[in-house]
Structure 1
């Protein structure tokens, strides 16, 4: 009885701790909320994520993810919020999404002249220097970022790329952006759990395939969506992932995901156009 009570107490603490650390109040209520994708107490026994306790109806809500091109995926939330990742205007611009994220490694990942109809433009770098910091709640999706460095002119520019995380319908969806280096433990801790991972697999302009597959294996997401492939054979990436990952070729550009429909085994999903 005592052990059961202790375990229950730990579970309750882990679920409530984000709310204690990051309370919603006043004008911040529409700008940030506690993350359900972070293990707030990784070393505690019986740790569970808050999203696991979502009501059945909420955990069955679906998110639509469509490959638009290059590194741009379109995400549509159950509440109808549309998001375009690594947005340059070449893909996913019509109709204009409500939210776009951008990275500045190359002009194919950002635009300096986004459509004024786009409500939220989130650059992965800080034009004023230092790391970009995004913590934004748009209707039913919470968006945050974790910065990494990029190579520019033979040197590394700190905090010039962002890994964006989208938390919606109990799902944690991550986009690695134009990632140029392996991740440290501090990056993994800041990213947290990712149910869906969007990963560049060109193997040259971004991180090597060995490095990228190492990151994808460690994150162990249920769904892995390759992008930014260029001429790299898909097998060059999938073969490095090992036998623990299934491969699912789709004949469409889109996938529907929910917390309750995630595959039992980690799966690399190859959408049409990738």
Structure 2
């Protein structure tokens, strides 16, 4: 019995890809953010190619499913409870609460990416799966009472995950607990779509997350962790330069060519 348990544990462990084991690859989003302006916009150079759409579905809390043109499904801040449709091929996790991770993911999930590292080392993710490149930028996270002394910060305990697919740069801020400095913004690079926690308490203040949202200048803002704060307060803080688009469906289908020309907060159905 004991031997069977050990073997089962080893098997499950082999399915979890430690973030620190990844080797960073070239980021197109960073390259575009750091490149000098070109005379011909990227969107015009792609007009002859087939338009590739990405489907983004709000599953709940901080979990979005991202479906790529090649059929890869990604689940963000995945805990196993918030699910819809088929199982993701890739899941990302952060260690804030059990609503943002699971230590027992379905073994059929091919890639399990932790936003925290082991033995005091930061997570380092640089993974290509079919048509999507996934990387991370680490931030600190508060230590909760169930995880030792409450309020203490754990260095590099959270990851902002960035998904580069179909010419889009999609960022998920995770369970963000502090303001970002210039080095964070430089490492993130350009984002076309950003998923932002707007609870104002469990993550960070609305003032703080609003400043981050404005500086990122993404075309699309997708709120998450949105159970505690009135949306109109978030909209007031980020300013009039953002439009609001409230949807009755859970899924947004979008491509590089259909990004809104004015920064837009899109509210998908769900809680």
> What TM-score do the two structures reach when normalised by structure 1?
0.84
Consecutive unaligned residues of structure 1, counting only runs of 5 or more, are 1-29
Aligned partner of 1:231 among 228, 246, 257? 228
How far apart, in 2, do the equivalents of 1:238 and 1:245 lie?
8
Tell me the secondary structure at the aligned position of residue 109 of structure 1: coil
Tell me the secondary structure at the aligned position of residue 56 of structure 1: coil
1:101 has 2:92 as partner: yes
Consecutive unaligned residues of structure 2, counting only runs of 5 or more, are 1-21, 144-149
CA contact (8 A) 2:220 2:259 kept: yes
For 1:13, the equivalent position in structure 2 comes to none
For 1:130, the equivalent position in structure 2 comes to 121
Q: How many residues align?
A: 244
How far apart, in 2, do the equivalents of 1:31 and 1:82 lie?
21
> What TM-score do the two structures reach when normalised by structure 2?
0.85
For 2:30, the equivalent position in structure 1 comes to 38
Aligned partner of 2:153 among 149, 153, 156? 156
Tell me the secondary structure at the aligned position of residue 37 of structure 1: helix
Tell me the secondary structure at the aligned position of residue 208 of structure 2: helix
Q: Deviations over 1:65-107 (max 9, x none)?
A: 0000000000000000000000000112652110000000111
Output the aligned Cα RMSD.
2.1
Tell me the secondary structure at the aligned position of residue 79 of structure 2: coil
Alignment of 1:65-144 (within 5 A): 65-92=56-83, 94-144=85-135
For 1:62, the equivalent position in structure 2 comes to 53
How far apart, in 1, do the equivalents of 2:33 and 2:212 lie?
22
Tell me the secondary structure at the aligned position of residue 186 of structure 1: helix
Residues 96 and 247 (structure 1 numbering): CA distance in 2 closer, same or farther, change over 3 Å? same
